[in-house]
Amino acid sequence: MSNLEFPVEVSNLTKVYKTRGGGVNAVCDISLCVNVGEFVTIMGSSGSGKSTLLHLIAGLTNPTVGSVKINNQEIYNLTDSERTRFRCRNIGVIFQAFNLIPTLTASENILLPSLIDGKNKVSRDKLDNLLRILEIYDRRRHRPDSLSGGEQQRVAIGRALLIDPAIILADEPTGNLDSVNSANICKLLRDLCDKEKRTIILVTHEKSIADWGDRCITLKDGRIENK
């Protein structure tokens, strides 16, 4: 069950990346609220700011302007280490590029967030169960370079889900999966939302994936096009 009572509130969020050629306005003045137990999807063409928005909500990149409140906590008022701890306890992030550690096995990669936050001891049974649900149990001792793209993606999903996060932020989590595996992952996320009131924000560019959510937000040039 979700241990958070209050929504994810994004207010006037703007992110400008500084580059040699000048500033890139990746996210421009976005405000949105995602309630506890809501499953929101974000669509938009490549470069529209989806990943940047998700990283801002995860507390992974500082906004240029604006705020992100999670369960009434302004996350950018926390120190870096407080914010990391907050994330490890409350948020599971599935990255578009997986971000697996190449020297660790599939199991070790999945266990990583629980190792960072020493308070989150995970039982062997729980890990094995998750490996089975994701159908990577027999790959658990493999390192990322000996896993297929789809298997690496499922390891990244396992790492995000292991600690039962109240909030799941997923960046194109099915981009490397076939249609059967994609539907399995979407069903798993839908169940976590319906049965356990987890809050989910999922980025996708596929309408068939977005349809699993309660509502869809479309980004264009860093701004919300609809609500």
- Give me the residues that bind Mg ion (CB under 5 A), please: 51
Backbone angles phi, psi at 55, to 5 degrees: -65, -35
Q: Is 28 in the site for ligand ADP (CB under 6 A)?
A: no
- Per partner kind, with CB cut-offs from 5 to 8 A, the member of Mg ion, ligand ADP, none near residue 6 is none
Q: Is 48 in the site for ligand ADP (CB under 6 A)?
A: yes
Q: Nearest-CB residue to Mg ion?
A: 51
Q: Which of 25, 216, 186, 206 is nearest to 94 (CA)?
A: 186
Contact predicate 167/92, CB 8 Å: yes
Contact predicate 76/59, CB 8 Å: yes
With respect to ligand ADP, which residue has the nearer C-beta, 136 or 217?
Answer: 217
Q: How far is the CB of 225 from ligand ADP (least distance, A)?
A: 13
Q: Is 17 in the site for ligand ADP (CB under 6 A)?
A: yes
With respect to Mg ion, which residue has the nearer C-beta, 89 or 205?
Answer: 205
Q: Is 216 in the site for ligand ADP (CB under 6 A)?
A: no
Q: Is 24 in the site for ligand ADP (CB under 6 A)?
A: yes
Helix (H) or strand (E) holding 210: helix 207-210
* For the chain, the helix, strand and coil percentages under 3-state DSSP, each to the nearest 5: 35, 25, 35
Token code pair at residue 102: 């190449």
Task: Find the binder of ligand ADP among 23, 47, 82, 195 (CB under 6 A).
Answer: 47
Q: Which amino acid appears at position 80 of this protein?
A: D
Token code pair at residue 140: 């658990």
Return residues touching ligand ADP (CB under 6 A): 17, 19, 24, 26, 44, 46-52
